[in-house]
Structure 1
Amino acid sequence: MNLSDLKLNGEIEYYGLKYVILTIEPPNVKLKRNNTSGDAITINYFELITNPSFHAGKSIRRSIENDSREYFSVLESLDDKKREEVSKRLRIIRPLLLLEKIKQNHFPSLVEFHQNYEDLLNENENPEKLKQEVLIDRLAIKNSISKRTIKRYLSSYRKVSIENPLFGEEGLISEAGTGYKYRRDNKILIINHPNYPEIILDQIQIRLSDEYIPIIKEVIEKEYLTTQRKNKAHIIEVINIQCSIKGLAPVKPETMYKIFERISSKVIERMRIGKKALNKYEEVNRGFANNEALYPLHLVEIDHTRMDIEVIDEKSGLVKGRPWITLGIDVYSRMVWCMHISFEPPSANKVRKAIQHGVLFKNTKEEFGTFNNWEIFGIPNIIQFDNGSEFNNLAIKRLVNETLMSNIRFRPIATPRYGGTIERLFGTINTKVLHNLHGTTKSNIFQKREYDSSENALLTLENIEEILTQYITDVYHFQKHEGLPLDCNSPMARFHEGLKMRGLPEFIEPEDEDAFKISILPTLFKPYTKDGVRIDNRLYRTKDLSNLIDKREIKYNVKYDIDDISYIYIKPPNEDDYVRVNIVSPPYESVQGMNAYTYKLLNQYLKETGELKRNKIATEGQIQKAKEVLYKNIAKMYKTNRRARQQAERMELDIKVIDKNDVKKDTSSKNLSYEQLLANAIKNSNFDEN
């Protein structure tokens, strides 16, 4: 992940000229031309860092020589066992890394140390006066390892971070077995879930002939990784019986015992012990006290809710239903950190998109015509979720803990007061905006009375996103807020005041945003055959990667976006960056911008009608025909049961030929300007222009 920051006396580039930062007094920064006697200039820091001509003097980024090469993280190429080892080592030295920042008067690090590592301090002891050697002694006792080992971890981390300050974790990758790993006779044994073959449990290195791999793989998956918990001697005996049947020499027991040792202990326990093992690996993060946030981005709360409004389809005018909104709020300032609106129900993908919105610049002036900037961005110290499955999963934990280097906290079960800040924000959005728009469902049937939400629906999903963006940026952030101190009683004022104490957040420069977006996409391991990469009856291929064609056992890192199935990213071995690969079958144009859910429904329809056999890829003509048939059924689905309606809401269809008789209504005669819509949204608010 590529971050930059502004520091006193640091050099930056602005409109092709070099400047030195004289002072940082949020929301402004004072600059002076380098090596000149000219006057200093003062500029809003947000306008400065979002200016296309801006570059940080110490911007931390990896060079990209080829435009198609996008992003690479060494950590992503590790198997789970190695990855867990890196995470463990990082947890051990984390207090030492914080101590370094504390010595540099970095206030957020001081707060984080007190919150998470009080057990390493004596009573009334101040971390600012703590010596590194003393802290190493205490960490050695706490983690039951030697001081020498901790110093080695710290040294390895620093060695890499000198070159790339935000990639220090790569120095914590164990070098054990690397000589063996790159031997020419080395083979990869991929272990899949016995009941769900598409799920990869582990990948281990072995050095046996190719004929042994399928035998060992099958016996490990079907005999060893089961709740019957058969002993290793029996498994070795079964493997050698299979070898004998196929005319192969038996595998030496010592070889098999080494293979057993390489399988992740977490995989073994979860598959052999079952549900009881889950408790052991469930992170204990539920003890978070509802204490006051101490600075901007100290604590962000994220949650979802279904919006109190019916919206229409942009192309057809059909009433699609009520979308879901995901919001994140900075508890310290009450600034809205992130927002994501879609018909997709709560999921890990929706959480990922919301976090992406929070971390990056919003650029609302250019995109939505707001009067002000949506100024809050960057990486929170703590992200608090409720206990939904979309939050408590491995993908989100890795995104927050490893990619963002942040901390996750979960609300204690059955304690809604711990999410009161985000719940009040939902209430404000509903009462001040949504309940004043055409198509509102109000909060309940008593408020709604005889009002027909569907008949009065005029706005599209895009309209709602624009209205809420304008409201949040130009109204909510400047309103008086009862939960804030009287001397800083608006979110924006509180945010700027807090930045004076915290300092400006680190940020991702616009030219690095695409690389960041790729870095947080989910990952698969897939082979590259002569047909390319196959994912759910779709083929991705490019001539530039023909050198990757190999046996199906050889698999590569593949990143994908379930919101657009028209492309993937592949990381070739021994290269630093990902390569974008477009879909070739079905044709790119027929599925461009289509989400995975819609494509699944199209294929399901074609199979049910006998036009598509198993494992056959749909043609452009078949997809177009299926789109038209499904489109004609959408209007009926909206009027049927709830499950059918929710299914229709998630569909995204771009149809070339539309039967106008199937369109419920044409909204062109009822079009309102965004200014009128926003005026309706805020007419009852207590916005204080001062």
Structure 2
Amino acid sequence: GIAPIGERTFYRERARFTSQEVTTTRRGKRAAYVSQPFAYLDQTTPRHGSRPFERAHLDHTELDLVLVSSMTGKPLARPWATFMTDAYSRRVLACYVTFDPPSYRSAMMAFRLCVQRYGRLPQELVVDQGPEFGSVYFQSLLTRCLVTQLDRPPQQPRFGSVAERLFGTATTQLLNQLRGNTQASKTPRHMTREVDPKRLAVWTLERFAPRLSEYVHEVYDQMEHPALGQSPREAFEQGMTLSGSRSHRLIPYSEDFLMLTRPSTETGTVKIHPSRGITVNGLHYWHESMRLADQSGRVVPVRYEPFDMGFVYAYIGGQWIECIADAFAQVHGRSEREWNLILDEWREQQRQHNQKRITINGPLLAQFLQKLQGDEALLLQRKLDLEEQAQREAILLKRPKTPEPTLSAPPRIELDLTKISRYEEYR
């Protein structure tokens, strides 16, 4: 037989394997990442940039809070928050709350909020491997805004420690103190009706979003950060003083910038039809300038607002023109996400009727939308979009219509018949 090795030989061979290699072999790369040694940085190596707006982190998280409907008061869902954080000062540059899962729309709104508050965008943006950050729209938006994208390595959250630490701080200091937080639901076997977050939830999105924004911009911004030895606001102001304002990076928050952030179609252009106008996302849009003879058959750039499918914007005659959908009454106020749900169900019903070629017809689509009023997925998405309407109007420089003054009832006049003069008796 084979003679067994000695004890000293066994431990000598065992010592050749590091703990990380053993953990990788036994439990995988994710488990070994915890014991991975960190890299020492030289004193001249700025880990998070050398000035404000040099580098920022953009990331999403699902908040540990259940929100309710502003109309019915019933629980809806847990919202998603998108944070853009300055790496140098740890200051929150933008905070956007929505019910929709992470998408390019959340990144677009974060860009708008950052420019609305600070009038500029970071020079470098650190993002993870999410599909929304690899889309053509996101790449084009960064190119137009002169922002360089830096991708975090997959399955290595330490590279996003700036954003991840903010998530934990906001949860501990704010969310866990509100009614409807999901601390109890993390251990469902121990949860009872008295602590069920869906029964305790009272916050609506319209009320919660401004409070979260106030926390990150007024409370967290003035608290001393342990990694800085000062507050993010102080670090930001000190960095801006030392590095300069860099006025050439300023971006005015105007309709031109909003148009710059709006997405386009896959091709980026559409062809003008003399009678139907242009077709975007299966809908026909029209403007009177398309009636001109020199515009017929032209291919023009097009963009749309993803939160209202009733309008698109076509570049005609050297300017962006707002075009109205032919089914405006049915699609006005509907978001792109809701419209995609409608189209998916529309196509599925057409396939069931053995129609090989599926086209969108305005009147027929209007009848179909009436039938979909009871669809659960559409009703839920419609309800979530309505909850976010006030927040989006504030970002898009749109003010809600002021209610018409109510006419007060005329004062009631009491008549004393004994004091009225009696001239004659009627016979």
TM over 0.5: yes
CA RMSD of aligned residues (A): 3.1
1:416, 1:607 → 2: CA distance? 40
Quote how far apart the aligned CAs of 1:290 are: 7.6
Aligned counterpart in structure 2 of residue 351 of structure 1, from 102, 107, 120: 107
2:296 equivalent in structure 1 = 550
Q: Quick check: 1:537 aligned with 2:282?
A: yes
TM-fit CA distance, 1:514: 1.3
Contact kept, 8 Å, 1:329 with 1:336, in 2: the verdict is: yes
Match of 1:601 among 338, 341, 344: 341
- 1:264-301 deviation digits (Å, cap 9, x = unpaired): xxxxxxxxxxxxxxxxxxxxxxxxx9823211111101
- The one-letter code of the counterpart of 2:320 is Y
What does residue range 94-493 of structure 1 map to in structure 2 within 5 Å?
Answer: 291-361=47-117, 376-400=118-142, 402-442=143-183, 445-446=186-187, 449-450=191-192, 451-484=195-228, 486=229, 489-493=230-234
Query: 1:570 and 2:311 equivalent?
Result: no
For the residue of structure 2 that corresponds to 1:475, the secondary structure is helix
Determine which of 318, 332, 338 is the counterpart of 1:592: 332
CA distance in 2 between counterparts of 1:527 and 1:568 reads 14
**Contact 2:221–2:233 at 8 Å: present in 1 too?**
yes
Are the equivalent residues in 1 in contact too, given 2:283–2:360 (CA < 8 A)?
Answer: no
CA displacement 1:375-423 (0-9 Å, x = unmatched): x4512121111111211233222221x2121211111233211111100
Change (3 A) 1:377 1:446: farther
Distance 1:442 1:353 in 2: 29
Give SS of 2:60's match: strand
User: Is this contact kept in 2: 1:378–1:505, CA < 8 A?
Assistant: no
In 1: Cα distance, 2:71 partner to 2:330 partner = 17
**Partner AA of 2:251 in structure 1:** I
SS at match of 1:590: helix
In the aligned structure 1, how far is the partner of 2:84 from the partner of 2:280?
A: 33
The separation in 1 between residues aligned to 2:138 and 2:366, in whole angstroms, is 38
* Cα deviation 1:64-104 (Å, max 9, x = unaligned): xxxxxxxxxxxxxxxxxxxxxxxxxxxxxxxxxxxxxxxxx
CA spacing shift, 1:328–1:414, aligned 2, 3 Å: same
Match of 2:245 among 504, 527, 532: 504
Q: Which amino acid aligns with 2:197?
A: S
Structure 2: tracts of 5 or more residues without a match? 1-44, 388-427
User: TM-score if structure 2 supplies the norm length?
Assistant: 0.69
Q: Matched residues, percent identical? A: 23
> Which is greater in Rg?
2
Per the TM alignment, residue 580 of structure 1 is displaced from its structure 2 partner at its CA by 1.3
**CA–CA distance in structure 1, aligned partners of residues 364 and 69 of structure 2:** 26
Counterpart of 2:252, as a letter, is E
1:308/1:550 CA distance change after superposition, 3 Å = same
Distance 1:354 1:618, change over 3 A: farther
TM-score, normalised on structure 1?
A: 0.44
Q: Which amino acid aligns with 2:221?
A: H
The residue matched to 2:64 in structure 1 has which SS? coil
- Residue 556 of structure 1 aligns to a residue whose secondary structure is strand
**Post-superposition offset of 1:618:** 4.5
Paired positions, count = 329
Deviation string, structure 1 residues 139-180 (Cα, Å, up to 9, x no partner): xxxxxxxxxxxxxxxxxxxxxxxxxxxxxxxxxxxxxxxxxx
Q: Which amino acid aligns with 1:495?
A: F
Q: Would the alpha carbon gap of residues 608 and 654 (structure 1) be closer, same or farther in structure 2, given more than 3 Å must change?
A: farther
How far apart are residue 449 of structure 1 and its match? 3.3
1:302 alignment partner, SS class: strand
Unmatched 5+ residue regions in structure 1?
1-288, 362-375, 638-646, 656-690
Q: Measure the CA separation in 2 of the matches of 1:605 and 1:417.
A: 41
Do the aligned partners of 2:63 and 2:80 also contact (CA within 8 Å) in 1? Answer: yes
